[in-house]
Structure 1
């Protein structure tokens, strides 16, 4: 999908967190969302200037309006339409609340929104609502059905952690039944409220990756991972030798990681490599997001896999994977450190393993891991 994009020059995905306000208080929320809007949010005029700058990345730049719940901004439709008029590919990740009515979904489509992403962390109201700590399942399903009625392509986002991993096969069925075009599977990074949740162990994550590769082959919807780029390494290891050689030698085949194909603008204008790597490289109020992405030291470092440390830096898959820079930062404070979720150790590597790697590896019993390996 993004092989033709030069990620040194532009992100594949630019997320703008238009607000942190949200009716929900989900247990895993990266933003630690609050009921009220922040007084220092980007104004409508500042938001439009950000979108104008984003258009300078090039034709058809993907912009995700995120939150919090973007629907809490009264100017949301105006901003979406403005971005669409600029030639941006505008998408949105609203919260599954009662405010996301069929009429609101129709308004989003009319404003030029090209895709809507909804979160589904359980296949039933009981499991989804228990995980999120809020009764949002019914509203989420209703919004998904409204999107189908409007012909608005639907993406489903799912968080993978110890509380949700056993639900993945049933969620897969829901994704299919809802007619989604893409399943985005997010592997927990301990930031925001997500710090209180337990991740899965590295070897179990590997088994889930193998299962997701099979799902991608079997289903009509696409599958992608978020903060788990070693999904690509797992896919390459299962490919033919010719495919492996071609993909691992071409920088155009690189996966998206924080700062390398991905950028995030906070509700107050700070530019981060990712919402899960909240280290600011500048603010759009005084510097173009294009300039920050292309020239900020932090972004340039993150786009150089040869600068990574530990086993990620020694890994032969570092150019197609590179590990989660966000998880490395969250666990060590160093965005160039190794990703503790990936169990792969390069042949001949005898250096230090990532901080927390041993603890994650022993976090689950053999019995619990074998359940996922059986997928």
Structure 2
């Protein structure tokens, strides 16, 4: 499948960012910088750029959470709901700062980003710089009605599923959330969006990892990212009961049978360390302490403010 990636030379090393999976790859030959169409199977075969391997000024990829509000109340949510939300004008300014910072990949998250009417405008504003690729992480509740509108503005969409079945998923996210996410996924695939499922690995959910891979294959979803639970935000309250060790997570994921055409990634807490997050109040944060905490750095008033002191460790 040919889709859009972001390529750039970082201190003489060519890097390609995958907006669906969130990985960075090292191509064997020079490529034009900027947004570039590549075969996803070819990109997946290239070695991954590991954290600390490069020393970019700006993070290679980042998460921007322009909204705090959400229609669900998940007990493993990472978001700090005490921060204020920027105005529509401030969001446009932040989008401009992100574009000018040199970042390759931006994931729009929240809160629930599909509650923002100006979400397509924000994505297009970032892509206008012809450098970055843009994805969006959603709980899928409103995706069916917005998929056609979002398809021209996004390079990928990530749908959060905490299990392959409604019985498991709805336990964590609420009644009907599984069916709404599946309906949204089908609409997004039909609209031509590259979809990636994201599942938080927990002691009560990881037994459905194989079934989720099989479901992804049935629905035409391109891949599944398994995320280690981070003891951040509301997730702190369930960490002792639900967190797997990285070793347990690797054992669970590496034993799976991966269907043809489905890309699998495990994001351990170690690989999430140093990742940059721009919160709804316009402050840039960074995962620290092995991604067990979030540290505030400074307000983003210009593109240089995203060049945080530890940017070399960004994933």
Task: Tell me the TM-score normalized by structure 2.
Answer: 0.73
The structure, 1 or 2, with the larger RCO (C-alpha pairs under 8 Å, 6+ apart) is 2
The alignment status of 1:196 with 2:247, answered yes or no, reads: no
2:149 maps to 107
Task: Kindly indicate whether the alpha-carbon contact (under 8 Å) linking 1:25 and 1:32 is maintained by their aligned counterparts in 2.
Answer: no
CA positional deviation for 1:66: 0.5
- 1:223 aligns to what SS in structure 2? strand
Distance 2:197 2:168 in 1: 16
Distance 1:89 1:291 in 2: 20
Larger radius of gyration, structure 1 or 2?
Answer: 1
Which of 277, 296, 299 is the aligned partner of 1:283? 299
1:55 maps to 99
- 1:278 aligns to what SS in structure 2? strand
Change (3 A) 1:117 1:61: same
Which of 17, 32, 36 is the aligned partner of 2:65? 17
Task: Kindly indicate whether the alpha-carbon contact (under 8 Å) linking 2:85 and 2:280 is maintained by their aligned counterparts in 1.
Answer: yes
When the two chains are superposed, the root-mean-square deviation of aligned CA atoms in Å is: 2.7
Residue by residue over 1:125-178, the C-alpha shift from the partner in whole angstroms, topping out at 9 and shown as x without a partner, is: 111101223430000000110111011000111011111122222222222222
- 2:203 aligns to what SS in structure 1? coil
The alignment status of 1:91 with 2:135, answered yes or no, reads: yes
Distance 2:235 2:177 in 1: 18
1:370 maps to none
CA positional deviation for 1:43: 2.5
Which of 262, 265, 280 is the aligned partner of 1:267? 280
1:343 maps to none
1:303 maps to 313
2:24 maps to 2
Distance 2:297 2:226 in 1: 27
Change (3 A) 1:160 1:41: same
Residue by residue over 1:23-43, the C-alpha shift from the partner in whole angstroms, topping out at 9 and shown as x without a partner, is: 111121111659xxx7x4222
Aligned length: 261
Residue by residue over 1:225-273, the C-alpha shift from the partner in whole angstroms, topping out at 9 and shown as x without a partner, is: 23434xxxxxxxxxxxxxxxxxxxxxxxxxx4432xx311000011111
Distance 1:163 1:27 in 2: 13
The 5-angstrom pairing of residues 309-328 of structure 1 reads none
Change (3 A) 1:22 1:81: same
Which of 180, 183, 191 is the aligned partner of 2:224? 183
Structure 1: segments with no counterpart, 5+ residues: 230-255, 305-320, 322-375
Distance 2:72 2:151 in 1: 24
Change (3 A) 1:33 1:139: farther
CA positional deviation for 1:7: 4.5
CA positional deviation for 1:51: 2.3
Task: Kindly indicate whether the alpha-carbon contact (under 8 Å) linking 2:135 and 2:157 is maintained by their aligned counterparts in 1.
Answer: yes
Change (3 A) 1:146 1:31: same
The alignment status of 1:41 with 2:85, answered yes or no, reads: yes
Distance 1:193 1:168 in 2: 23
Answer 1 or 2: which has greater strand percent: 2
The alignment status of 1:82 with 2:130, answered yes or no, reads: no
The alignment status of 1:140 with 2:140, answered yes or no, reads: no
Distance 1:181 1:227 in 2: 20
Task: Kindly indicate whether the alpha-carbon contact (under 8 Å) linking 1:54 and 1:290 is maintained by their aligned counterparts in 2.
Answer: no
Task: Tell me the TM-score normalized by structure 1.
Answer: 0.63
